[in-house]
């Protein structure tokens, strides 16, 4: 990180529309191309989507996943809860360190929605970060308390989607 103190801002990308993770990864690429170091902690997810291949393209990015598969249609298991809580503790350490310029907590609001940890715990982790670190939170259902703390909030709203016409996820576009 640079020697001059530069404030890191807190972004949230939320809403029911497509593009939250995509926007966060776009910001990651922009930061990487500017010579910054990026950490991405993916909550709930365990599958390696195409965007995770960014690690093969840039040395200055690290991605870790804190999920045991998709439980969206069933109750989270104790393993899901444990992985999310350990992930939050790990991300707290990353955010406090001087190791990364940008830290993305992907789908962390889904972990909140399913009560894998509390909004208060996440807010404390974000507030206790190194003040130079830019932090990005993604996922549906961002709670108002979290939105109130953010410096930038973007809500992705679905207006129309080809999924409703039966088009499944397409390689390189949706996954």
* Residues facing 11 on adjacent strands: 136, 152
Listed in sequence order, the residues at least 6 apart from 47 whose beta carbon sits closer than 8 Å to its beta carbon are 69, 70
pLDDT at position 72, please? 65
pTM of the model: 0.92
pLDDT at position 3, please? 44
Task: Give how far the C-alpha of residue 43 lies from the chain's centroid of Cα atoms, to the nearest Å.
Answer: 7
C-alpha span between 55 and 95 (Å, rounded): 19
pLDDT at position 2, please? 46
Tell me the pLDDT of the chain (175 aa) as tens digits: 444 458 999 999 999 999 999 999 999 999 999 999 999 999 998 777 888 999 999 999 999 999 987 666 678 889 999 999 999 999 999 999 989 999 999 999 999 999 999 999 999 999 999 999 999 999 999 999 999 999 999 999 999 988 888 888 888 877 7
pLDDT at position 111, please? 95
Question: Residue 166: left if φ>0, alpha if ψ -120 to 50, beta else—which one?
Answer: left
Using H for helix, E for strand and C for coil, what is the string for the chain?
A: CCCCCCCCCEEEEECCCCCHHHHHHHHHHHHHHCCCCEEEEEECCCCCCHHHHHHHHCCCEEEEEECCCCCCCCCCCHHHHHHHHHHHHHHHHHHHCCCCCEEEEECHHHHHHCCCCCHHHHHHHHHCCCCCCEEEEECCCCCHHHHHHCCEEEECCCCCCHHHHCCCCCCCCCC
Class of domain 10-165 as given by CATH: alpha beta
13 with 20: CB under 8 angstroms?
yes
């Amino acid at each position: 990180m640079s020697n001059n103190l530069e404030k890191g801002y807190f972004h949230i990308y939320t809403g029911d529309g497509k593009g939250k993770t995509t926007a966060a990864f776009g910001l990651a690429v922009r930061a990487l191309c500017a010579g910054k170091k990026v950490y991405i902690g993916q909550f709930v997810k365990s599958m390696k989507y195409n965007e995770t291949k960014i690690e093969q393209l840039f040395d200055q990015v690290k991605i870790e996943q804190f999920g045991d598969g998709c439980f969206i249609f069933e109750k989270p298991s104790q393993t899901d809860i444990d992985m999310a809580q350990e992930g939050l503790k790990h991300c707290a350490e990353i955010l406090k360190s001087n190791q990364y310029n940008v830290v993305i907590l992907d789908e962390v609001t889904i972990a909140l929605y399913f009560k894998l940890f509390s909004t208060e715990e996440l807010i404390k982790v974000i507030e206790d970060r190194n003040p130079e670190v830019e932090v990005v939170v993604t996922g549906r259902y961002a709670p108002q308390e979290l939105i109130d703390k953010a410096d930038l909030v973007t809500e992705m709203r679905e207006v129309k989607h080809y999924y409703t016409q039966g088009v499944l996820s397409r390689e390189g576009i949706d996954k």
